[in-house]
Chain A
């Protein structure tokens, strides 16, 4: 204790902390707590999902088959890779490699934007097929699968032709898409916020702010980014892979 006080405080130590150690522990702890609130936030959505999936399982299966598993898969890969580049960034910050840090952050940013780009393509497709909940929503794909593009494509790839769904159950696909948009929308919102912060971090990293030994900012953002990835790791099987073989 007395030893660390003999030296001057590092410039990035806030005055109300006794030691830099304390500052680092406090901010990291705060970040974990914040992620806990995020878990509760998404927890409400996951609860709703689990209830309705149990109630309307056939509708959820059929609606899930309307999603493009390839686009979803690519997005999953993008995010996992971005988690890797983010982890590289943290490592570069810790070992004080400025250009490595900037490069990792830029790569993470590009991968994140790529994810959002593909998500936009997927959303657009939902609009075209009238799968967006609200007054434009149509159950046509489910009561008349023989004339539905996505179903025909799947049949061509060897899946069995599904029976037309009774109207009552087909209507429940709107619930699936409600949850789909709420969950992926909230996730995308977190991505957008993350990308915004990334932009800021890149500028500051360029100025050398995080390669002086003060790495908590990068580490904590890394935690956030990984968390957003993990949410997607849950969303992908829950939304895309219901009863796929």
Chain B
């Protein structure tokens, strides 16, 4: 591992935090709760997301503890169903979907394109309140008896056979859905209409492109799952029969509507993470992202293809052979743009001056784990192998490799990368590198055994299993406890760094994005004056020239 570093901090003896920034411009709790500032809303989201992440994580811990032994002994089987359902609902609707867009996206998109704020600040605040209302409702449903349908609310199970809080939880997901629609809508409008002079589409950081693609998915996909949830609720309450086979309805229709959103939803979750990785990889290898246009358009391609593959979740549900064939084919197509990204990142690294700060370690974690997750996805996308592997731990492992190994790694990469910008202070480097490595090791120990369990045929969603599966399950649970430590560490040292971290200065990573060319933490208006953009994204020579100009100015003043 290389020991040199690109970090360029101001002299700590004389450095001061900026007098005025978005953090201290106004005081009092109300100035936060009624704020229109995208950066403050991002911080509100960050705090609430972390809260929900640890609730979902506690559920995961309970699941792994239960699976330590073949019998169902820690909790009753019904309770187990509720625990894994709440784990899924909270992690997907209240963590993964909003994770990067609502925190880092909110904070950075206006800054990256040279705007003072998102186009619709009030809608932005409203989306946070909707998120909180949905979250509160989900927690309420959990406390008052929970729900045991799995996060997919599959009919007719959810409409006829369970008597748990389906409607409350569905309503929670519905409300959270509108929060995500408003976020996506806000991003699209902002990227179209708020770019600074000279910031053309092909000068946008790839981070913005990936958020744009994810926003299109949020805006077009979420309403479809919303109406599906409404119909389930109407079926449970007044008894309309759209999904009810006894009234001529087709339960499969629910699955079509649900997966029409929920497949694109995995791209809503992963695309912003890919944006983070593009920024981080470029910065820590001091090179323009290889094939900028290809990476930009691959995001758009993922968004488009993503809408035509949903039925790969339904191969075992009585889909006709022809649709299975067609959707297998389309699913393999969607792997192409993801592969384009991976290859282009690899070429960006090639002959770059690579350094291994924490964000880069997480980004490497992303690339490795996402590649495994993506490739195992091909097994599940092809109907022949899927019929053997679906509903086993193989699918659990695949999904977690993409979402936890991929997305959560990218989220942590982004949080560490932009932490100096958000707070004005550096996180402690050594311990955070340790956390990144711990997460990586813990993750692999948790989820790699699950691939093997799935191949051996252990079904998902059961509290008990045959004794021969125990050894792999013990590995998985042991790994999960390491993983838990890996996630707890950042919370501790990031909070610590708020007070004791080194002062970061404007641009500790010497990165090229507009957000780095202003003070940290930024002013409420982001920039002192409207930036004029005259260079492409990731133009390190431009940055060099800029630094020289500044240096000569300083020396001439002296």
Contacts and interface: CB of A to CB of B under 8 A. Distances in A.
A41 B228 CA distance: 9
A30 B223 contact: no
A182 interface: yes
Contact of A133 (B220, B227, B241): B241
B250 interface: yes
B277 interface: no
Contacts of A45: 227
B117 A38 contact: no
A175 B253 contact: no
B242 A43 contact: no
Contacts of B228: 44
Interface in A144-169: none
Question: What 7 A-B pairs come out closest when comparing CB atoms?
Answer: A134-B239, A178-B240, A41-B223, A44-B227, A16-B117, A16-B116, A40-B223
Contacts of A15: 116
A37 B180 CA distance: 12
Contacts of B222: 37
A86 B525 CA distance: 37
Nearest to A52: B248
B553 to A, nearest CB: 26
Given A40-B223, A41-B226, A26 B115 contact: no
Interface in B221-247: 221-224, 226-228, 230-231, 234, 238-242, 247
B539 to A, nearest CB: 24
A245 interface: no
Nearest to A134: B239
Interface residues of B, number: 41
B219 interface: yes
B240 A182 contact: yes
The interface residues of chain A, by DSSP majority, are classed as helix
B248 A174 contact: yes
A55 B248 contact: yes
B530 interface: yes
Interface in B270-327: none
B189 interface: yes
Given A44-B228, A175-B247, A38 B223 contact: yes
Interface string B239-268: 111100001111001000100000000000
Contact of A134 (B116, B194, B219, B238): B238
Interface in A22-72: 22, 25-27, 29-30, 33-34, 36-38, 40-45, 47-48, 51-52, 55-56
B120 A26 contact: yes
A244 interface: no
Given A41-B226, A182-B242, A36 B220 contact: yes
A174 B242 CA distance: 9
B479 to A, nearest CB: 40
A43 B224 contact: yes
A190 interface: no
A116 B181 CA distance: 28
Interface size class of A (residues with CB under 8 A): 35 or more
B117 A133 contact: no
Given A174-B241, A178-B242, A182-B234, 7 more contacts: A26-B194, A41-B224, A48-B242, A133-B239, A133-B240, A133-B241, A171-B248
B109 interface: no
Contact of A30 (B119, B249, B525): B119
B535 interface: no
Interface in B95-124: 115-117, 119-121, 123
B16 interface: no
Chain B CB count within 10 A is highest, among A26, A40, A133, A186, for A40
Interface in A113-134: 132-134
A56 B249 CA distance: 11
Nearest to B240: A178
Given A26-B189, A37-B219, A133-B247, A175 B224 contact: no
Contacts of B220: 36-37, 40
A133 B246 CA distance: 13
B241 to A, nearest CB: 5
A29 B189 contact: yes
A99 B242 CA distance: 47
A162 to B, nearest CB: 20
Given A52-B248, A134-B239, A182-B242, A30 B224 contact: no
A29 B192 contact: yes
B160 interface: no
Given A175-B241, A175-B242, A178-B240, A26 B530 contact: no
Chain B CB count within 10 A is highest, among A29, A55, A133, A178, for A178
B405 to A, nearest CB: 31
Nearest to B219: A37
Contacts of A14: 121
A132 to B, nearest CB: 8
Contacts of A30: 119-120, 123, 185-186, 189
A229 B115 CA distance: 36
Interface string B200-228: 00000000000000000001111110111
A177 B248 CA distance: 12
A172 interface: yes
Contacts of A133: 238-241, 247
A235 interface: no
Interface string B175-195: 000000100011011101110
A41 B177 CA distance: 12
Given A55-B248, A133-B247, A179 B119 contact: no
A135 interface: yes
Contacts of B115: 16
A181 interface: yes
Given A133-B239, A175-B248, A25 B193 contact: yes
Nearest to B188: A33
Nearest to A29: B189
B112 to A, nearest CB: 15
A139 B234 CA distance: 20
